[in-house]
Structure 1
């Protein structure tokens, strides 16, 4: 877009002083003729830019003229370019846009800061996706974005985390939140604030109905309220398990957040692979402990008795499902 190019031209002149039309054309990836047209456009907009002919000539701003668009310190420039490695923009379909925007900022930085920023983008990698988080959400985030940005209601089918049941909801969205690589839709459901994990949404459709959000309430307010509810809620269900040492590292990677105390060492140098390690876990509801079945006979629940009974029932159902006799 021309407006983007004019801004990039202005930043280049502000950061580097006088530059030749050929140099500017190469940096902006346009023709020399386009550079001169853009200079005329800046001048018509009131920017004090001028050209000088001759061997030492070029295009420059009147001495002393500056905008407040840049002025980044070296640390600010380095911090900015860490964004190039963030998956958040790609999830939202903005991966190419953020790369293009930061390249324009890079071109406008002074030489001393440009090399430092470039080094950060090549030496620091941000991977916000946790290990073993499962498949990519089946619903494109673009559908939820459309509801958020057009202020329309959203209908969806959702698999609840606490019991695995599928439910239908009509929601009034506030926005999307990326929490440690996991996307959440924040919305009102029947006037009450709720959050929905994007990777549990099975189907979604934007309606023609306008949202009916609570007045004067912003996304950050609702998110803070929901987050406090999770952070401050007591973990009422204590679960004691024993885990075979040979899978302890894998188990801790998946359930470290559920541990009631500091994690034990997963090193197996002096331990028998079949040795048992006893751990205490905390879950908000009993049903949240069902994934322990995925470890088969390498994890045994010792207490509470009602969880042992529930897991035994589920195991019998599974065995019956696959019984070939």
Structure 2
């Protein structure tokens, strides 16, 4: 709507000062000609806005002009009060600031929108943490936060997954990202994007050198590149398994990112009574060992190499505990078989979650 666009132009000019017409047009997804028409409309409405031509020109307001804009729609007011659970703001030391800011926004809202905004804050909660995430190391974000906002380089002592040795990196930070409750530092290392889990950073030192980010590259751009790199990692090992339906819900929650098709409906083979056939894809063969946690509730059908890999892992574990106990492994207890049907109450694991 034109009225929303005029308000957006006014807010952008108040925030940024002089803004080129092409930049406003790109941000609002309209043509530069439309921006100039909107500027004329604002001027006709009494707003002291004008265009400056030339190399350093742009759209600007008269110096000192400010306006208190409270023309939020009902949905915009409600959107501001969809709160996240404690964690993200706490890690940044901004809990009290968030409460204070929301109090001020509530006071500035048009009276008709206040009840809906207040009700939203009491009825909607976004919790970014996964179920049963397990224990986590304490994460110290102070140095990372300082470097990000002071535009300084960072020297990290970092431990990669599965690596006992600490490695030293000098990086140029773009910002911090909280992904499913886990904090990451997004940075350039030797002019290439790199991702560092905050809980694997042993130490971080803010350097005096100014940050050396690539021109016209923002945090969101680098994050999308890194996210695609993780999510689109080649997965060339295709494995077919059958899962007992009493464990299917738990199975899909744990290995969901590995599924190549959703189980159930038209995409799963349901001709085997209480078992469902599921297909997964792994980046490398040893990754199939994750299936061992499901015991006899999950059976690998294909390929033979995956079965051999599981047998190899089982033999390693059996040898370890046989040596520890000095005795042969105990046979499976009689009657330890899968239940006959899928009906009934969920397992205790599922109920706890």
Contact 2:186–2:219 (Cα < 8 Å) also in 1: yes
Aligned to 2:307: 308
* CA deviation map 1:24-74 (0-9, x unaligned): xxxxxxxxxxxxxxxxxxxxxxxxxxxxxxxxxxxxxxxxx9823432222
Distance 1:254 1:170, change over 3 A: same
Q: Label 1:127 to 1:320 Cα distance change in 2 as closer, same or farther (>3 A).
A: same
CA contact (8 A) 1:77 1:113 kept: yes
1:183-198 superposed matches below 5 A: 183-198=183-198
* In 2, Cα distance between equivalents of 1:87 and 1:76: 24
Q: Which runs of 5+ in 1 are unaligned?
A: 1-64, 266-270
Q: Does 1:154 align with 2:158?
A: no
- Identify unmatched segments of 5+ residues in structure 2: 1-64, 266-270, 327-353
Q: What's the secondary structure of 1:135's corresponding residue?
A: coil
Per the alignment, do residues 218 and 202 of structure 1 end up closer, same or farther by CA in structure 2, a change over 3 Å counting? closer
Aligned-residue RMSD, C-alpha: 3.1
Deviations 1:230-254 (A, max 9, x none): 4444432212222233222111111
Question: 1:224, CA displacement in angstroms?
Answer: 2.4
Q: Secondary structure at the match of 2:103?
A: helix
Q: Determine whether 1:134 maps to 2:120.
A: no
Structure with greater contact order relative to length (CA < 8 Å, sep ≥ 6)? 1
SS in 2 for 1:282: strand
Confirm or deny that 1:324 pairs with 2:322.
no
- Which moved further from structure 2: 83-92 or 182-191? 83-92
Alignment of structure 1 residues 103-182 onto 2, 5 Å: 103-150=103-150, 151-160=152-161, 164-166=162-164, 168-172=167-171, 173-182=173-182
- Hey, which bits of structure 1, 4+ residues long, moved more than 6 A? none
Cα shift at 1:171: 4.2
* Residue of structure 1 equivalent to 2:58: none
Distance 1:129 1:171 in 2: 30
Distance verdict in 2 for CA 1:143–1:238, change over 3 Å: farther
Counterpart position of 1:224: 224
Question: Who is 1:37 aligned against?
Answer: none
Determine the structure 1 residue equivalent to 2:245. 245
In 1, Cα distance between the equivalents of 2:239 and 2:210?
A: 42
User: Is 1:144–1:154's contact at 8 Å kept on the other side of the alignment?
Assistant: no
The answer (yes or no) to whether the contact 2:241–2:298 under 8 Å persists in 1 is yes
The alignment of Structure 1 onto Structure 2 pairs a total of residues equal to 251
Structure 1 residues 294 and 198, CA, compared in 2 at 3 Å: closer, same or farther?
farther
Q: Deviations over 1:158-200 (max 9, x none)?
A: 342xxx334524141221122344432212234321223335x
Partner of 1:250: helix, strand, or coil? helix
CA distance in 2, matches of 1:104, 1:82: 16
Name the residue aligned to 2:290: 291
Is 1:98 the counterpart of 2:98 in the alignment?
Answer: yes
Of 277-286 and 129-138, deviating more is 129-138
- d(CA) in 2 for partners of 1:309, 1:190: 41
Hey, what does 1:263 align to over in structure 2? 263
Partner Cα separation in structure 1 for residue 188 and residue 69 of structure 2? 37
CA contact (8 A) 1:258 1:281 kept: yes
CA spacing shift, 1:118–1:220, aligned 2, 3 Å: same
Change (3 A) 1:146 1:116: same
- 1:251 to 1:72, Cα distance in 2 relative to 1, 3 A: same
Classify 1:281/1:205 alpha carbon distance in 2 versus 1 (closer, same or farther; 3 Å).
same
